[in-house]
Amino acid sequence: MQKFEKADTVFDFSDFIGTTYEGAVDRVTSIFTYNEAMKDYLHQYKFLQDVALANVFAGELKAIPMHGIVVPIPMHPEKLKERTFSQVEELLNHADIAFQNLLTKVNSSEQGKKSKKERLEAETLFELIHEVEPTHYILFDDIYTTGATVHQAAKLLEDAGATSVEAITLIKG
């Protein structure tokens, strides 16, 4: 844990001004920053399928107040088959955080291989698979890089009736 660095709390949403996603996310909280130690951890966890590493951050995640319905950012079904587990859901499971799967990923393109501009202009990534209540939702993802994924999911929830949406991520990229 000493090799992981805490993330700063400042998020720049200026790229979303004037887009359909402006104002979709009320707040984003990330616990750690993306440094070399985190890069190594993520590679081992996600790509080498070391699911036991979900325990590493259970205590950190439990310590964050999550007042609302937690919604994990889903993987595309093809990617889930390839990786064998949802890294986002496993982080929540190991931290004993209840969640609801309200979204499905319908676009299989990898966001990590796109530029920020391409991510902001990307076609719809998600569809709703359940009703949305008029309440507060907390999107949870492993990493926040450009914010496009979180903002797209938040916009979908708000358009369906969510009163507010925030996001919590393990890592700020």
Four-point Cα dihedral 41, 47, 48, 50, nearest 10:
60
Q: Strand, helix or coil at 142?
A: strand
- Please state the pTM of the whole predicted model: 0.91
**Number of neighbours of residue 111 by Cβ within 10 angstroms:** 16
The domain limits of the chain are 14-172
Where are the alpha helices (H) located in 43-104, listed in sequence order? 58-62, 77-83, 87-94
pLDDT in tens, the chain (173 residues): 899 999 988 898 998 999 889 999 999 999 999 999 999 999 999 999 999 999 999 999 999 999 999 999 999 999 999 889 999 999 999 999 999 999 999 987 665 565 656 656 667 889 999 999 999 999 999 999 989 999 999 999 999 999 999 999 999 99
**Topology of domain 14-172, CATH:** Rossmann fold (3.40.50)
